[in-house]
Amino acid sequence: MQDEQHGRRDAPIPPPGAGVSFVMPVLNERAYLRRAVETVLAQDIDAPTELILALGPSNDGTTELAHELARDDARIVLVDNPAADIPVGLNLAIRAGRYPTVVRVDAHSELDPSYARQALQTLDRVRAANVGGVMHADGRTPFQRAVARAYNSPIGLGGGAYHGGTQEGEAESAYLGVMRRDVLEEVGLFDESIRRGEDWELNLRIRRAGYRVWFDPSLSVTYWPRESWTRLVRQFAATGRWRGELVRRFGRGNSLRFFAPPALVLTIVLALVIGVLQATGVLTGWWSVAASLVYLPVIAYAVLILAVALGSGGGRGWRDKLWSAAVLPTMHLSWGWGFLGGVIGGARDTVDTSRLGSRNTPLP
């Protein structure tokens, strides 16, 4: 049905009780998988459900745990994802599903029991093709808590709606997403040539096809971020590189907020170059004074990071505050450097290696 007032197409509404397929790509997630699966199976909805796990080639016992969970509950379906790429795994899981509504979940996520029911109600109410809510990051160690605070802060990830928005309405993308299968099939599922940012690109095609992507702040998903500094760097460098690739492909379809981290990287590099020229006497006089203005945004950024880290949101103790001061620039600079590489040379075969070879410590 065409929405004449807004020039938008209404997504189809399946009959009551038609069923829901949850899809989850999994790679080296033994420490998180059981709890993630439990929260999916505990969803309070009056309809049949299934959970399809797309299993990458894990080396930490994740595959064995997945088979154990599947033996205990017939709703769990396992499919192999030897390529390990997230969009490939998602498409395998979606195609293996039987039901008209698809809920993307993550092995690092935990759902409230009412999550799917509320999302289905929102889909029906606004006739959207995809609805998502707030990513509420959390952590157990000082480092992981610092990363979680950065995720939850507009300073950390640029203020996207799903990082703390409070206003319901149409959105650029959706975190994870509760989607209508008919629309997914119409637009062609996930693009398997995109290894990071695949959800943004899918939602771009959904919106260009005339459907609504909707943000509902009443929906919240707990997310457990990376547990170490090196994994965080690898994650954000790969994500930034793929965002650079998406800029190459889609240009102005990208939000301006994606350009802030690379602008920061370029400003810092320029400040370092000017500092060397001044220290060696190459740059002197009024030229040196004028060039010194480049230090102002760098100083302002450093002050902002310290204020956020030491302020009320800086954590429980001094270790949390120190990690916050380290995590924020790590995320920004890794992402920004990766972005520049992606814009200049494309993402090519870049993968997020922060999950490869994982030996996660069991959770308490």
Instruction: Tell me the CATH number at 209.
Output: 3.90.550.10
Residues 6+ apart with CB under 8 A from 132: 162, 171, 173, 174, 175, 176, 177, 178, 213, 214, 215, 216, 219
Q: Do residues 308 and 220 both lie within one domain?
A: no
275 belongs to a structural domain? yes
Residue pair 60/30 in contact (Cβ under 8 Å)? The answer is yes
- CA neighbours closer than 13 Å in the CB half-sphere of residue 91: 19
The answer to the question of residue 243 being in a domain is: no
What is the overall mean pLDDT for the chain?
Answer: 90
- CB-based contacts of 257, cutoff 8 Å, min separation 6: 158, 159, 160
Look at residue 5 and tell me whether its pLDDT is greater than 50: no
Q: Please check whether residues 217 and 287 belong to one and the same domain.
A: no
pTM of the model: 0.88
- Based on the domain organization, do 141 and 263 belong to the same domain? no
Are 313 and 202 in a shared domain? no
pLDDT: is 361 or 76 the higher one?
76
Q: What local confidence, expressed as pLDDT, does residue 364 receive?
A: 32
| Encoded tokens for 29 | 């997630």
**What is the extent of the structural domain holding 295?**
249-355
Nearest of 316, 275, 311 to residue 293 by alpha carbon: 275
Residues 139 and 255 in one domain: no
Q: Residue 111 — φ and ψ, nearest 5°?
A: -105, 140
Confidence of residue 322 (pLDDT cuts 50, 70, 90): confident
User: Is it the case that residue 316 has pLDDT exceeding 90?
Assistant: no
Q: How far apart are CA 182 and CA 174, in angstroms?
A: 18
- Residue 289 in this model has a pLDDT that exceeds 50: yes
Reported as a single tens digit per residue, the pLDDT across 205-247 is 999 999 999 999 999 999 999 889 999 999 999 999 999 999 9
Report yes or no on 362 lying in a domain.
Answer: no
Could you give the number of structural domains in the chain?
Answer: 2
Q: What is the band of 361 on the pLDDT scale with cuts at 50, 70, 90?
A: very low
**Token pair belonging to 3:** 């929405």
> Is 288 found in the same domain as 213?
no
Asked if residue 257 and residue 193 are part of one domain, the reply reads no
The residue written with tokens 């994870």 in the block is: 176
**Considering the domain boundaries, does residue 237 fall inside one?**
no
Beta bridge partners of 213: 130
Does one domain contain both 265 and 205? no
Domain endpoint, select from 192, 225, 258: 225
- pLDDT category of residue 362 using cuts at 50, 70 and 90: very low
Mark whether 207 and 263 lie in a shared domain.
Answer: no
Residue 42 lies in a domain: yes
Average pLDDT of the segment spanning 337-355? 90
Alpha-carbon gap, residue 187 to 205, rounded angstroms: 6
Q: Is residue 334 part of a domain?
A: yes
Is 100 within a domain? yes
* Secondary structure (3-state) at 23: strand
Under the banding of pLDDT at 50, 70 and 90, the label for residue 165 is low
pLDDT at 268: 97
341 contact partners, CB below 8 Å, separation of at least 6:
240, 241, 244
For residues 24 and 137, membership in a common domain is answered with: yes
- Measure CA 238 to chain center: 12
